[in-house]
């Protein structure tokens, strides 16, 4: 069967209900696709037998008239930094290779409760640090549209899993664009929810005040449904808000909106010509549909990347201190005493990019540099938050490109870390301010690589963001 024809969860469930397809047939089809496309290096582990058993149980529930969950029959993949009880999780790092989770993330529990099927764990940049999925200890994930190009990072495995129809939905985590950038590179839909709307319990932390779990899907409608199920207060995560994500209504016509575009970003010289032109065309389409689109001044573009990396690396240096060769995970066989256990285990277990960021974070937090870097970056973060809040007092959404270019060639930016970091220049803003941000495809470049656009909404305005995006 051709699972590529299913672009929405509702279409899958309609066919299950009418008897056109069974859940077991769906799972089997996805498993066949996974086996056929192993060269993409998407999955670190496939839960084949378990997924088939879950499918059979759901088919039996369907036959007996049991109550079905909202995700009945939906096949989902997990990024390899989201815990699933009694299953391995490694954050695509040697230092956690072989580690088995002893509990499930809250989002996993909520998805399973709604009859979702977890089919496997996907490759990602090590500890979610990267923009191209080239930093994984288990190899690069290839873009299904062009195997010579990157999938985007850090949730590249999850994005390609949806792009290549290896599952219907995949979960990623977004620290500075790690859901939205690979979504743009693969022609999928990616949502970073409002910070605190979705529990981080069970997510292996990179930068705790930035990280957010979110979905990668084929459609905006599916992203809305999965997010609504995952969101909500969690007693295990004190940063979750008591505010709930409202259920989006896609049946009513979309009303014209007032949209701000950040001129410094949309007209930026760093934009690939096709990305700039496609974005301009999309803006004209919005205007033609009755939306008001206006350019607003935003003078902080040059501060986004420095502030983001100063803060996230500082948090990473603290969060990753627990991976030391003593508590769990990899321990160097070359260690001879306590000091060498720490040194050698971390040296041999972490990849180069992770070590770079730990060192940078330790530096910005060190005596004599804390005020000059970390404290200043926090002040910039406050300025950014206030600036975006002020814009959204007068506008419904902010529109900006998802990425400066389409998916670049594998190895193209690995020798220039600064150029690699700048790949996140348009996505880090929403993480610095905590706003929800959605990326969806709007075209392709001359080489048929996907181009995405990004919409940022007000805090906890996912409903409005999704309804508008689905209607345009």
Task: Report the catalytic residues.
Answer: 79, 154, 178
Give Dmax (Cα) for the chain. Answer: 70
* Distance (Å, whole) CA 260 – CA 283: 10
Q: What is the DSSP string of 125-166?
A: SGGG--SSS---TT-PPEETTEEEEE--SSSHHHHHHHHTTS
The residue with tokens 């309609």 is: 14
| Cα dihedral 164→170→171→172 (10° resolution) | 0
Element (H, E) at 444: strand 437-444
Q: What is the DSSP string of 329-388?
A: S---TT--SHHHHHHHHHHHHS-HHHHHHHHHHHHHHSTTTIIIIIIHHHHHHHHHHHHH
Q: What is the DSSP string of 242-255?
A: SPPPPPP--SSPPP
* Distance (Å, whole) CA 455 – CA 472: 12
Q: What is the DSSP letter of 434?
A: T
Cis omega (within 30 of 0) for bond into 154: yes
Residue 339 class from Cβ within 10 Å (0-12 exposed, 13-18 middle, 19+ buried)?
exposed
Nearest to 62 by CA among 108, 27, 111, 13: 13
Residue 12 class from Cβ within 10 Å (0-12 exposed, 13-18 middle, 19+ buried)?
buried
* Distance (Å, whole) CA 146 – CA 190: 20
Nearest to 122 by CA among 78, 183, 180: 78
* Distance (Å, whole) CA 399 – CA 433: 15
* Distance (Å, whole) CA 315 – CA 432: 13
Element (H, E) at 430: helix 428-433
Ramachandran region of residue 411, left (φ > 0), alpha (ψ -120 to 50) or beta?
left
What are the Cα distances from residue 428, in Å, to 205, 213, 305, 460?
A: 17, 15, 7, 18
Contact (Cβ atoms closer than 8 angstroms) between residue 301 and residue 335: no
């Amino acid at each position: 069967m051709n699972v590529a024809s299913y672009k929405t969860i509702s279409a899958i469930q309609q066919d299950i209900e009418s008897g056109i397809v069974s859940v077991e047939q769906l799972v089997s089809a996805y498993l066949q696709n996974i086996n056929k496309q192993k060269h993409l290096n998407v999955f670190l582990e496939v839960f084949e037998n378990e997924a088939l058993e879950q499918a059979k149980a759901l088919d039996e529930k369907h036959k007996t008239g049991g109550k079905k969950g909202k995700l009945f029959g939906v096949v989902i993949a997990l990024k390899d930094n989201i815990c699933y009880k009694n299953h391995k999780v490694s954050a695509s790092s040697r230092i956690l290779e072989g580690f088995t989770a002893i509990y499930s993330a809250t989002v996993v529990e909520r998805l399973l409760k709604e009859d979702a099927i977890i089919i496997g764990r996907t490759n990602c940049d090590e500890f979610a640090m990267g923009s191209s999925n080239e930093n994984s200890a288990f190899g690069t994930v290839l873009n299904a549209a062009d195997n010579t190009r990157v999938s985007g990072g850090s949730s590249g495995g999850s994005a390609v899993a949806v792009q290549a129809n290896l599952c219907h939905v995949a979960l990623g985590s977004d620290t500075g664009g790690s859901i939205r950038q690979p979504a743009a590179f693969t022609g999928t839909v990616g949502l970073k929810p409002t910070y605190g709307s979705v529990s981080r319990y069970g997510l292996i932390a990179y930068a705790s005040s930035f990280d957010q779990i979110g979905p990668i899907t084929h459609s905006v409608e599916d992203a809305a449904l999965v997010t609504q199920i995952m969101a909500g207060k969690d007693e295990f995560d004190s940063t979750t808000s008591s505010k709930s994500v409202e259920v989006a209504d896609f049946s009513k016509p979309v009303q014209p909106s007032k949209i701000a575009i950040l001129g410094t970003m949309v007209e930026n010289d760093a934009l690939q010509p096709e990305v700039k032109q496609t974005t301009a065309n999309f803006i004209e389409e919005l205007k033609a549909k009755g939306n008001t689109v206006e350019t607003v001044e935003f003078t902080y573009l040059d501060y986004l990347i420095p502030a983001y990396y100063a803060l996230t690396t500082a948090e990473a240096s603290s969060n990753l201190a627990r991976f030391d060769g003593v508590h769990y995970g990899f321990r160097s066989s070359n260690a001879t005493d306590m000091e060498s256990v720490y040194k050698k285990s971390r040296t041999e277990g972490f990849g180069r990019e992770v070590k770079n960021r730990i060192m940078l974070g330790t530096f910005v937090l060190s005596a004599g540099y804390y005020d000059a870097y970390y404290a200043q970056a926090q002040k910039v973060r406050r300025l950014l938050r206030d600036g975006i809040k002020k814009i959204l007092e007068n506008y419904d959404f902010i529109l900006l490109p998802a990425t400066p270019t389409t998916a670049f060639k594998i190895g193209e930016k690995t020798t220039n870390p600064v150029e690699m970091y700048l790949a996140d220049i348009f996505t880090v803003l929403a993480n610095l301010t905590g706003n929800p941000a959605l990326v969806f495809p709007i075209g392709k470049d001359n080489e048929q690589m996907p181009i995405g656009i990004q919409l940022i909404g007000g805090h906890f305005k996912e409903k409005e963001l999704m309804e508008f995006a689905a209607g345009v």
